[in-house]
Structure 1
């Protein structure tokens, strides 16, 4: 499974730690660049190129950021996005994502057709959960989006429903899938059988609120929160189990201020890059048990059949 690290302005992890840079180079991991998130820097990026702007020589996926813009009540201009791709995208990226119109698959298809005719580079179309692809894009790769919102909502069966949706796609097509936002260590391993590549931007946001991730789920660093209600704490024992080379002791994760936040963010990036190393060490049955526990309801026979198909 190929990994793309979602990036934000002002903090590029590979420039902070050689261990991160080495790991990304070894695994040929890439970065996910959002046109929307970096819209204020577009002229600078056009002038020097994506690789120089990020001081990064690996693969780059260009995403329009349409999903984020949509939730901000703003529509991205197809003309501006096309102009950017013509100037920089075709030279600096290995994957370019379509400009989606959220909730309107046919307008998304129209944008995809326009981009395919406008630039000399394959365009990755995106289908959003919970729809099943009703348009034949006639491409070998397709993006699957909209799953993170479902996983964030505390609804019974949301994790399972996403797993079943992925399994259904896999059963009806030979296309390769990119799972947008499914890069947290738990989701990365739980959904690995049906995805060719994934990305993750949550490493930064969760570090800011005091969360560190492991393949067994997120844990809160004790000093980072005042309330302990419903929180699972990040213990020294758990830290030792997944300890990276560039962090020397647990106390660094607990430091107040920017350095503590940076260390938590670097931890999350490192575990994102290395989670698959632990895949064989964690029994699949633990994921099945975890998903059923999250559901907290009786599983239907259709769900059980899909789950068995998915994990086999």
Structure 2
């Protein structure tokens, strides 16, 4: 009976936290975008090359890579022109081909949210207009980079807020651009908004359903980088993005996993992540995430605080950061530490 009473008390605490902490009743429920890229049915049925094309929903990134390696430039161009949405989002396809395919898809879009993404010179590695829109952008020369980082954002991020002007360092593009500016040549940073994020701080943000869907997409994305022969990445995970990274940790192939402003990673400690990556955590004293209960009961909450001593993560200083989205702001101790981790200095 005592154990049952303690469980009921924990459930009540979780419900109170969700309903009363930082406005956690204000979100709207989202449906995760999953599955292969848009246009996959037409791709599968296309016999233009006289051979079967790799199934976007079933082929591994390595199999995709092998397929494209066997094509000539003209054949690749044919597929790009006929199926830009598939080629641009197909993990394992050549980087340069994906950039060109996504530029083509963006130019063809009449959605004003994507006008900025279509600007010349942007290296868009993924663009999926379904739902609220998903995007990945590369800063730097990914092909020649000795060090690669991936930034995974949290709630309220989609194609329309990917690089918004307000709250810049709370956006994936803003975080990635700031990190790249600090690291510079020899490094490349990918802003990855490739999953359906929670909107507001409702039940989606307090539960793991969207994170589970996002974890599968993130592991496939990093497998595509590996198939293309790129260095194993350092993965930076902000806020709800750290829940995604916690669930994906064992399959990311990352050298380092860095979480900031995390509500939890759905693990009790570093060992529970089942990863060989070095795990780092940052949380500044003014971050409202510190008011979120670190519990996981009846599907609510995300578990232990990764910045807590008992979790076992390496400490990242964040005295200069301000609020929940200040970790990548220029001049902060957290950004300096992130850059050192990204460049392999802090190992």
TM-score bin, normalised by smaller chain = 0.3 to 0.5
Instruction: Give the alignment's TM-score, normalised by structure 2.
Output: 0.31
Quick check: which one's helix share is greater? 1
Instruction: Give the alignment's TM-score, normalised by structure 1.
Output: 0.33
